[in-house]
Structure formats: structure tokens, C-alpha cells
Structure 1
Amino acid sequence: MFNNSQSEMVTNSFSKLASDLEKQELEAPKGSSAQVYSQLLAIYLYQNDLCNAKYLWKRIPQSVENANPELFAIWSVGQKMWKRDLPGTYQSLAAYSWSEPVAKIMTSLEEKVRERAITLISQAYSSLSVETMMSMTGLSNEKAVQVCQNRGWDVQDAGKMIIPQKPPPPVTPQTSSEDQLYKLTEFVSFLEI
């Protein structure tokens, strides 16, 4: 899994690539190549920009769609993400052998979906079975338990039950009493006008 700085670098490089691909798509008079559409669709999924992914899918010419099965495979991942079907998303990601320009994006997408699922688990569950963890992360039993242990989560009942640690609450900036009084005064003054 990526650490924060690696994830940020990947996100920045994909954002720049997406911008370049969007420009290529706009400048192509009769539609772009299948590679442009494939990469752009995959990047939209990576960015969790499902609306733009759906609109891109609708604008891809039918002839390009029919000639490129990889586009259908990428869109099947997008459909699973749209429906929030995590197990289906992992199955769709693993079901296709991605071409070189798309493989890195799809691998990063899988890691990002998995990281979002782990974050969701830590926020939503007080305990869960390993099977549920495996389903939501697409990991094998051993890897799921290992990920939990690496995060400091408690694994009980001989590896059958997981108790995630809640993430620390967000730090809210403290405002002084004077600042609060000033804001209240401004608000009341606004209402009196």
C-alpha cells in the first residue's frame, strides 16, 4: 500500500495526465484514440469522479467502444464503483489483464479503493468478521489479518473477529472568546440591518 507522500505523487501525476488527455480529447475532431479514452476513464475512476467517468463513457464513439474490450472492462469497474459493490469492484479489477498504459492506473485504483474501504471500516465498525473484512478489501484471509495487525487493530477468536481502532477525531481549531464575541457581534449587526 502507498504511504501518504507516494499517494500524493501518484495523484498529482494522474491529475496532470488527465488534464493532458482531456485536452487531446477536446482537440481531436472525430474522437480520440482508444488509449486516450481508456486512460482518462481509468483516471476518473481513480479520482472517484464517477460522474465524469459516466459522461466520458457516454461520449466515447460506438466504433471505439466496440473495437476495444479494455474500455468495457474499465467501465465494468466503474459500474461496480457506482453501485458501491466493493467485492464486485475487486472482481472486475482482477478479471482483466490491463495493457501497459492502463495497468499502473488500475493498480493504483485498486489500492485507493482498498484504502477507502479500510478507512470506512475503521469509522463504521466496532467489530467485524474476517470474512467481512476480506469482502470489503478484496484481500485474502492472511493479508486481511496482516493489514489489521499492521494498523494496531485487535484480532480475536483465533483470527476470526476484528476490532478496528477508531481514527482520532479531527482537530478543531480553538477560537478565543474575543473572536467568538466579534463573530457574534458581526452576525447580530448583520441581522439588524
Structure 2
Amino acid sequence: MAVEVKMNFEKLQTDLENQELEAPGGVASFQVYGQLLGLYLLHNDTCNAKFLWKRIPQTIKSANPELASIWIIGQKMWQRDYPGVYETVKKEWSEPIKPVMMALFEAARKRAFELVALAYSSINADELSLFVGLPVNDAVKAAVAEGWEADAQTRFLIPKRKVPPPCHAPPSEHQLAVLTDYVSFLEN
């Protein structure tokens, strides 16, 4: 599921937030709520998605089942149910929502690869497949393309470790001077 249309999602999100704020009577359209909810999920902002869901009027929620489907994705993201996220995102979406959901699908997969790389020293290909929402062979190919090592006999993959940026600790004299200044300030 590749993103066919390149969109400026940050600008779209800002525009939609403004539309919601400026909506007559404080109630925006289904399209505004649906796209905004999807964009919050795309940016992994489940807190704002949850608050948006709570402030959408019940009449709009019940009249548009697609909103409930988007929120189900949010719930699955909150619960870290990655297979559930992929399964729900794969459904058919209306035209205004479709590009956001396609981008969400790819972003969720990318985040899953990053989380696995951080959390595992090695992972079974079947488990990786569930995490990233791909068939086993495609998950292995994608991991290898990311620089992971694959063992065909054991079907285990070893994630490529990202090297953290070097931490530049301030000189100990500087730390001591800052601490002295702080304590002196507190004593005054």
C-alpha cells in the first residue's frame, strides 16, 4: 500500500484545526473530523486523537460509521495492537480520507520496524511479520533492505542497531561551577 499522492500533511492538519475552530456553532463537518482524526493518528498523536474523538458530536459520529472505523485504529494504536491497526487500515476509505489512511499504514509500519530494532536483539521472522503487517517473506526482505541480518536456518533476524549520537558531557569543572551557583542562589 504505497502513498500515491504526496501531500503536505502538516499544513493540512493546521488547516483542519483552524476549520474546526472556525466552524459555525463549533461543529465542523464529517470530512474535517475524519481527516483530522486520521492525521493525529498518522503523527502518532493518540492523545489529541482521543480528545478530538471526545469532542465530536454524537450525531456526527452515528451518521458517519467511517469515523468509528478511524477511531478503532486509534484504539488499536493505543493498545499497541499492530496487526489490528494494519487490518483496520486496509479497508476501503472515502476519497478525502484515503490518502491519510495510506500514509498512516506506511508510518505505522515504519514505526513498528523502529520499535522492533530498539526492543529486540533478534526476532523470529513470523513475529516480525505480525509487527510490520507484511507476509513473512516480504517482512524479511524489508528488514534485510534496512540492513538487518537474516539467518535462513533459524528464521531469526538481527536488527541493525542505530548508533546513538555522541553525548558530550560538560567538563566536570563546569558542572561543579553550575552546581555551586545553584546552591548559592538557593541559600540567598
Taking structure 1 as the reference length, the TM-score comes to 0.85
- RMSD between aligned alpha carbons? 2.2
Q: Cα gap change, 1:27/1:189 in structure 2, threshold over 3 Å: closer, same or farther?
A: same
Q: CA deviation at 1:136?
A: 0.5
Percent identity, aligned pairs only, is: 48
Residue by residue over 1:121-176, the C-alpha shift from the partner in whole angstroms, topping out at 9 and shown as x without a partner, is: 11111111001100111011122111111122111134711111222123212423
Matched, 1:136 2:135: no
From 83, 86, 92, the counterpart of 2:82: 86
Match of 2:46?
A: 50
Residue by residue over 1:15-41, the C-alpha shift from the partner in whole angstroms, topping out at 9 and shown as x without a partner, is: 222221122112223421111111011
Match of 1:166?
A: 161
Matched, 1:189 2:184: yes
Runs of at least 5 residues in structure 1 that lack an aligned partner in the other structure: 3-8
2-side partners of 1:144 and 1:168: how far apart? 23
Matched, 1:146 2:141: yes
From 51, 60, 67, the counterpart of 2:63: 67
Taking structure 2 as the reference length, the TM-score comes to 0.87
> How many pairs align?
184
Runs of 4+ in 1 over 6 A off after TM superposition: none
**2:97 aligned counterpart, secondary structure:** helix
Q: Which moved more, 1:27-36 or 1:130-139?
A: 27-36
Higher relative contact order (CA 8 A, sep 6+): 2
Amino acid at match of 2:123: L
Match of 2:94?
A: 99
